[in-house]
Amino acid sequence: EVQPVESGGGLVQAGGSLRLSCVVSGFTFDDYAITWFRQAPGKEREGVSCIMTTDGMAYYTDSVKGRFTMTRDNAKHQADLQMLSLTSEDTAIYYCAVREARPGPFNWLKSYEYEYWGQGTQVTVSS
């Protein structure tokens, strides 16, 4: 079974940085999307950043553009999220999700698109 495992969360002051990692085991397919989501208390889960093996590009939600960078190591089945200039608005549980590539429309921002989820890692930014 495909299993993402997140690490790297913690407590950081506003303006600081954190690096999250997601290691995925149990792959049975070659092409997929791997995406970081986050969910703050009382809010819906939102897509933060995505890399698809089909084009190798990283996509970002508007609120993190210029501050977050997502990278992928194919050999390690790992995807990292480097987060800079953190604010209290970034406080959330961060989840790693994986979706096997398949034909048809795909909205990477939507949580219902993904079959496999990690347990999440807490990021808390103190102001």
Are 37 and 97 a contacting pair, CB within 8 Å? yes
Residue 29 has a pLDDT of 79
Q: 60: how many CB neighbours lie within 10 A of its CB?
A: 17
pLDDT tier at 54 (50, 70, 90 boundaries)?
confident
pLDDT tier at 55 (50, 70, 90 boundaries)?
confident
CA distances from 59 to 65, 100, 113 (A): 9, 17, 15
What value does the mean pLDDT take over residues 99-113?
94
Are 4 and 77 a contacting pair, CB within 8 Å? no
What value does the mean pLDDT take over residues 7-21?
98
Mention every residue, 6+ apart, whose C-beta is less than 8 A from residue 67. 83, 84, 85, 86
